[in-house]
């Protein structure tokens, strides 16, 4: 089966804003704000190794924390293909500066896919009272925040008691580093191809499934050779592994600031204080510290 339309190639290609994305305007200069205290051991968390994707490329290592909370089916697909070593050696065949780097095609040109069945679109998710969520801003009818390292916006949890399942709807904000599922014009055609966001691109919100976020190596993603398509030689993924499948001696040691903890809440306050008066701070403006050793 040939997979012809891929990310934006059909559904969004008609829009000049997508076919020739323009760089975002420079952000206003923010006043200097004193750094807060260093986080303590209690402020960190260790990601589930079964949800960490380690992508070694010819440019360096990229680490993605996957979030089955936002796209369980596609997360399972990527995990399955990584465990089968499907992604090893595949290239970044379409890379747009200020936008994203796309890979996961066995034909390395955007027309191929795995032999697995397509994955239905997962453009929104359900958030329940037990979903780990760190609040950035309460906008009365909606809430901005994080599920693990994933930037999201959901309905207010005050609405949950009024719904059939006791949950509210949410979607991912396609900030820099977010990992998304490529698809064709049909919303249910995600398969093996995926992309890593080089920069914030909000027009993808609620139109594509997001299954994780780069927590280390965004500089590597931004260093990947640009082109549409990329001229030979294309940069490539050498190996793609699930952290839990790697030998213990080869596993990077990873810890991430817990967004639900007091240090991160204080960090949000500092970011808000640094913003120009009248400016709303978005989830893309807040950095979640990560240590990889």
Most trustworthy range by pLDDT among 5-19, 26-40, 264-278:
264-278
pLDDT digits (tens, 9 = 90+) for 120-174: 999 999 999 999 999 999 988 999 999 999 999 999 999 999 999 999 999 999 9
pLDDT at 280: 84
Query: Does the pLDDT at position 96 exceed 60?
Result: yes
Instruction: Express each pLDDT in 281-292 by its tens digit.
Output: 899 999 999 999
Q: Is the pLDDT of residue 83 over 90?
A: yes
What is the pLDDT, as a whole number, of residue 149?
96
3-state secondary structure of 239: strand
The band of 19, judged by pLDDT with boundaries at 50, 70 and 90, is very low
The helix or strand, by DSSP H or E, that contains position 215, with its residue range, turns out to be: strand 210-216
Residues 6+ apart with CB under 8 A from 130: none
Q: What is the percentage of the chain residues whose pLDDT exceeds 90?
A: 79
- Residue 29 backbone phi and psi in degrees, to 5: -70, 135
Give the sheet arrangement for strand 150-155, strand by strand. 125-127, 168-172, 150-155, 142-147, 134-138
> Residue 281 contacts by C-beta under 8 Å, 6 or more apart in sequence?
136, 137, 268, 271, 272, 275
User: pTM (2 decimals)?
Assistant: 0.88
* Peptide bond just before 229 cis, omega within 30 deg: yes
**CB count, 10 Å around CB of 39?**
19
Per-residue pLDDT, averaged over 11-26, amounts to 35
What six digits make up the tokens of 121? 């679109």
**Dist. CA 274–CA 33, nearest whole Å:** 6
Residues 6 or more apart whose CB falls under 8 angstroms from that of 138 comprise 156
* Residue 34: predicted pLDDT: 54
CB 58 within 8 A of CB 244: no
Q: Would you say residue 1 has pLDDT above 60?
A: no
- Taking only the tens place, the pLDDT of each residue in 197-236 is 999 999 999 999 999 999 999 999 999 999 999 999 999 9
The runs of H, that is alpha helices, within the chain are: 16-19, 72-83, 218-223, 262-274
pLDDT in tens, 27-74: 444 444 456 688 999 999 999 999 999 999 999 999 999 999 999 999
Tell me phi and psi for residue 161, to 5 degrees. -65, -15
* Measured distance CA(80)–CA(286) in Å, rounded: 31
Q: CA–CA distance from 275 to each of 31, 267, 269, 278 (Å)?
A: 7, 13, 10, 8
Residue 193 pLDDT > 70: yes
Higher pLDDT, 107 or 9: 107
Which residues fall within 8 angstroms of residue 49, CB to CB, at 6 or more apart?
242, 243, 244, 251
pLDDT score, position 35:
62
- The residue length of the chain stands at 293
């Amino acid at each position: 089966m040939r997979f012809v339309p891929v990310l934006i190639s059909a559904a969004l290609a008609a829009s000049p804003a997508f076919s020739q994305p323009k760089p975002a305007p420079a952000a206003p200069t923010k006043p200097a704000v004193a750094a807060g205290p260093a986080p303590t051991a209690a402020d960190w968390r260790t990601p589930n190794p079964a949800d960490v994707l380690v992508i070694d490329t010819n440019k360096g290592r990229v680490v993605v924390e996957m979030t089955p909370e936002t796209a369980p089916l596609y997360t399972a697909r990527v995990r399955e293909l990584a465990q089968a070593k499907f992604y090893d050696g595949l290239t970044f065949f379409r890379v747009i500066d200020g936008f994203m780097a796309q890979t996961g095609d066995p034909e390395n040109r955007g027309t191929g896919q795995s032999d697995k069945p397509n994955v239905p679109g997962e453009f929104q998710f359900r958030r329940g009272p037990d979903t780990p969520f760190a609040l950035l801003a309460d906008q009365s009818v909606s809430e901005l925040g994080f599920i693990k390292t994933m930037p999201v916006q959901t309905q207010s949890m005050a609405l949950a008691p009024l719904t059939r399942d006791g949950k509210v709807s949410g979607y991912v904000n396609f900030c820099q580093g977010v990992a998304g599922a490529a698809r064709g014009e049909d919303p249910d055609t995600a398969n093996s191809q995926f992309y890593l966001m080089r920069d914030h691109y909000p027009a993808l919100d609620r139109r594509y499934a997001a299954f994780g976020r780069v927590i280390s190596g965004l500089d590597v993603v931004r260093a990947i050779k640009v082109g549409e398509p990329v001229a030979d030689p294309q940069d490539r993924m050498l190996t793609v592994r699930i952290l839990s499948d790697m030998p213990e001696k080869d596993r990077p040691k990873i810890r991430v600031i817990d967004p639900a903890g007091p240090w991160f809440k204080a960090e949000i306050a500092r970011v808000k204080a640094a913003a120009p008066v009248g400016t709303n701070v978005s989830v893309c403006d807040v950095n979640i510290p990560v240590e990889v050793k």
